[in-house]
Amino acid sequence: MLGVVTPVPYLVAVLLALGAGVALCVGARHSTGRWPAVAGRLLALALVADAVSFVVAKAVAGSFSAKTDLPFALCDVAVLVAAAACWWREPLLVELTYFWGLAGTLQAVVTPDLNAGFPHLVFFQYLAGHLGIVLAAVYLVVGLKIAPRRHSVVAVFAITVGYTAFVGLIDALIGANYMFLRRPPSNWTLLKVLGPWPWYIASAAGVTLVLLAVLDLPFLPARRRHG
């Protein structure tokens, strides 16, 4: 369910990002020069700029709050991880970007928790961050052909569980609700169908593991061929 203030500009932006993703992947697969690396670093800079702009805008407006604006939400961390993956293309960073981007951030694109419409700055920040993560995930794995390694699902799931526990501690200490660990989101998201709080946390963990396994399926044949 698309719950945004201005759905038409939102959908246009998503479609433009889809076209950009296809163009980047096709270009990277057919390029033999430095263009793929340059494109990845430009994407990294765009993601970092988005993260910085969010904090700066809040600080300038005097509305920054530790309970809502610290970069503890998984998508906030994924922005920085995706930027690092695009810049350095380290395997673990690419795996985190791929699995977090398609198992988590993509859900935030389809069911956005966004209460600012076009042309508000927050509207563009949300789009740039979330669509940028998904775009980075697809570009790294499909365009640059950096496939997740064997046992990457286990590693990513363990990191995700550990990070969630860390955020839960932060929430308890400062009374925040990062990653919706203390109460459900106000807007409709897929968490609404996973049961009431706090049971949806366990349900989400199970769904996450299944999604990671499904996202890993396309790479199993190649691993078997290479032993």
Report if residue 116 sits inside a domain.
yes
Is the residue at 2 inside a domain? Answer: no
Cα dihedral sign, 200-204-210-215:
positive
Q: How many CA atoms lie within 13 A of 140 on its CB side?
A: 32
The answer as to whether 132 is a domain residue is: yes
Query: How confident is the model at residue 227, as a pLDDT?
Result: 65
Q: Does residue 1 belong to any structural domain of this protein?
A: no
Any domain includes 14? yes
Residues 67-110: tens digit of each pLDDT: 999 999 999 999 999 999 999 999 999 999 999 999 999 988 98
Does the residue 80 lie in any domain? yes
Higher pLDDT, 199 or 189: 199
Q: What pLDDT score does 184 carry?
A: 86
Identify the pLDDT of residue 1.
45
CB distance 109 to 135 below 8 Å: no
Q: Determine the structural domain holding residue 54 and report its residue range.
A: 7-225
Categorize the per-residue pLDDT at 26 as very low, low, confident or very high, splitting at 50, 70 and 90: very high
The burial class, CB within 10 Å (0-12 / 13-18 / 19+), for 52 is exposed
Count of domains in the chain? 1
What does pTM read for this prediction?
Answer: 0.94
